[in-house]
Structure 1
Amino acid sequence: MNGVDEVSPLELLRSALPGLSGAKLRVAEVIMANPDVVGRSSITWLAEQAGTSAATITRLSTSLGFDGFPELRAALAREHGRDVQAGWEKDIGSAITPDDPADKVLSILAGNQLTAARNAMASVDLEALESVADRIVAAKRVQLFAEWGDAPPAHELYLRLFRIGIPVWFGEGAYFSQVGASLLNEGDVALLVSRSGESPIAAKFVRTARDHGALTAVITGSPDSALAAAVDVAVHTGTGLGNSWTDYFAGRASDTLVGGLLWALVAQRVPDRIYERISEHDFLEPPSAKPARRKAR
């Protein structure tokens, strides 16, 4: 190579474009439009796409400082690989690579979840969570709120509370959160899940709920956040927002664990209500097990 291995081949092409014409310009345009494809294709394919000869491609490659097309193609492939890796690490994280086998991916995710669960066990204020459970049992209305990635654990908590007869509602988005908060009264509960603890919509939800006399609480990974300071009760899960999907997925385990713990604490406080509801509606008896009723004669 002629000292171009550290320089982006696409940058070299951009710089050369004003001086190119004819067949060389067509080749450059094809490369610029599909650098990843060119990086794994033959010189014959590129010649067909540009409507020119292999010799023209070779001359363009050498004019850019490469020994020939194979070296230019390799540089394009390396650059694409670096871009893919950078994008992967920014989104997914560095704990998992695109080439990791499935068993390693499973092991990493399970290990991260185990760490998050341990962090939650060390961080949760049990007295605070029990106080929230007490208020939920006594409330006439419980309003849950979460956005985007925080919504799944909040929605699961909603389903579990609803199942045991708690008057609970769940809303996403600015409109539904404000309507839900405005329906709360003294003695009710407004509970949100927010890993980051930062959200203008959630902050307005909290203000509205407090103005209506409700207890406000947040399950969060950021105990020093604005939302944690704004609510009456902040429950720390032990896992913050993180910088990638892998981090966020790990934190989901702590969010779900704390939500499940809160549900269990509520259920402990209303065991008779649970039994009565199950007995009344025969939830535990499959339809086929019910005795057939005889028609009156």
Structure 2
Amino acid sequence: MDYTRNLLEQIQNRLKDLNRAERKVAEAILRDPQQATRYSIAALAQNAQVSEPTVNRFCRSFNVSGYPELKMQLAQSLASGAAYVSQAVEANDGPEAYTRKIFGSAIASLDNARQSLDPQQVNRAVDMLIQARQIHFCGLGASASVALDAQHKFFRFNLAVSAHSDVLMQRMLASVSHTGDLFVIISYTGRTRELVDVARLARQNGASVLGLTAAGSPLAKSCTLTLDTPQPEDTDIYMPMTSRIIQLTVLDVLATGMTLCRGTDFQPHLRKIKESLNASRYPSDEDAL
């Protein structure tokens, strides 16, 4: 395990397993990683309300030889893009704390997803979307709203596009699907039995299935191609679902890839759709001048 590159992630992942004193050190670091790289050992101990020997024990528990090396590895983690880490919202958090944690968790999750996404898989997914005769976006629960957003994005490409959050409709569509049909199935865990069944049924009838889901999940194993999305979700009742933000962003990546593949000749079509909305909007103050 590479502690040098991912020390902040390791601290976050092991937070609940640390003893009470070492957890205070971890929380002091996670509150402001940038500031932690500038602390002396005495300053960090004071901020965490622990003793300096506790900070040294914390270093050893992460296979770090001492506090100077801890600061160096923190700096390397920040330089590699891990400026934000996920933190669970606590029952006694005030507005400043829970706002910071929610934004920090969303940014950290997006950055983790960006690093996990394989550009070659993205390119294959874009090819599947371009070649599809019609596209069905399917999701349940929180992913259902993501499927609806996908319909809103992808109809612009002159394709037959639909979004479905009803399992019975998904099954019926899969049962009559053909070669050239594409099912894009969106699932955070990839373990929803109904969605896995839809994926299998669609493939049995000749359709292709693109999954936006967790690597190695039952859904991923049932798809033609998957874009693996990490599972950053904190199951704490106070934590909003960052998974949907990742899913929406991955769909933006795919829509952008399709736009670029269509080339400049397709831009007038997209412009026409955008301009069709002008009549539905009040003019801005600048337009009124």
Report the TM range for the smaller structure's normalisation: 0.5 to 0.7
- Pairing 1:155–2:148 present: yes
Output the CA distance in 2 between the equivalents of 1:128 and 1:204.
23
- Pairing 1:125–2:121 present: no
Structure 1 unaligned regions, length at least 5? 1-92, 290-297
Query: In structure 2, what is the equivalent of residue 257 of structure 1?
Result: 249
Output the CA distance in 2 between the equivalents of 1:154 and 1:117.
19
Query: In structure 2, what is the equivalent of residue 138 of structure 1?
Result: 131
- Pairing 1:225–2:223 present: no
- Pairing 1:188–2:172 present: no
Contact 2:89/2:239 (8 A) holds in 1: no
Output the CA distance in 2 between the equivalents of 1:146 and 1:269.
26
Where in structure 2 are the equivalents of 1:1-297 lying within 5 Å?
95-220=88-213, 222-245=214-237, 249-271=241-263, 272-276=265-269, 278-279=271-272, 282-283=275-276, 285-286=278-279
Output the CA distance in 2 between the equivalents of 1:119 and 1:288.
37
Contact 2:170/2:198 (8 A) holds in 1: yes
| Partner-residue secondary structure (3-state), 1:249 | coil
Output the CA distance in 1 between the equivalents of 2:254 and 2:239.
23
Query: In structure 1, what is the equivalent of residue 70 of structure 2?
Result: none
Query: In structure 2, what is the equivalent of residue 89 of structure 1?
Result: none
**Same amino acid, percent of matched pairs:** 18
State the TM-score, normalized to the length of structure 2. 0.61
Output the CA distance in 2 between the equivalents of 1:248 and 1:229.
28
Contact 1:190/1:214 (8 A) holds in 2: yes
Contact 1:142/1:188 (8 A) holds in 2: yes
Could you say if the C-alpha distance between residues 201 and 274 of structure 1 is closer, same or farther in structure 2, counting changes exceeding 3 Å?
farther
Query: In structure 2, what is the equivalent of residue 88 of structure 1?
Result: none
Could you say if the C-alpha distance between residues 179 and 164 of structure 1 is closer, same or farther in structure 2, counting changes exceeding 3 Å?
same
Output the CA distance in 1 between the equivalents of 2:94 and 2:234.
24
Structure 2 unaligned regions, length at least 5? 1-85, 283-289
Output the CA distance in 2 between the equivalents of 1:157 and 1:256.
8
Deviation at 1:95, TM superposition (A): 2.0
Could you say if the C-alpha distance between residues 101 and 241 of structure 1 is closer, same or farther in structure 2, counting changes exceeding 3 Å?
closer
Bigger mean CA deviation after superposition, 239-248 or 170-179:
239-248
Deviation at 1:169, TM superposition (A): 1.0
Output the CA distance in 2 between the equivalents of 1:261 and 1:280.
20
Cα deviations by residue, 1:42-70 (Å, 9 ceiling, x for unpaired)? xxxxxxxxxxxxxxxxxxxxxxxxxxxxx
Output the CA distance in 2 between the equivalents of 1:288 and 1:94.
40
Cα deviations by residue, 1:66-91 (Å, 9 ceiling, x for unpaired)? xxxxxxxxxxxxxxxxxxxxxxxxxx
Output the CA distance in 2 between the equivalents of 1:286 and 1:167.
26
Residue 262 of structure 2 aligns to which amino acid in structure 1? V
Between structure 1 and structure 2, the one with the greater Rg is 1
State the TM-score, normalized to the length of structure 1. 0.59
Bigger mean CA deviation after superposition, 151-160 or 112-121:
151-160
Residue 134 of structure 2 aligns to which amino acid in structure 1? R
Could you say if the C-alpha distance between residues 288 and 94 of structure 1 is closer, same or farther in structure 2, counting changes exceeding 3 Å?
closer
Contact 1:142/1:190 (8 A) holds in 2: yes
| Partner-residue secondary structure (3-state), 1:207 | helix
Output the CA distance in 2 between the equivalents of 1:247 and 1:101.
14
| Partner-residue secondary structure (3-state), 1:95 | coil
Contact 1:135/1:187 (8 A) holds in 2: no
Output the CA distance in 2 between the equivalents of 1:249 and 1:280.
31
Deviation at 1:127, TM superposition (A): 1.3
Output the CA distance in 1 between the equivalents of 2:126 and 2:225.
11
Output the CA distance in 2 between the equivalents of 1:267 and 1:231.
24
Output the CA distance in 2 between the equivalents of 1:99 and 1:242.
17
Output the CA distance in 1 between the equivalents of 2:156 and 2:280.
19
Output the CA distance in 1 between the equivalents of 2:256 and 2:180.
21
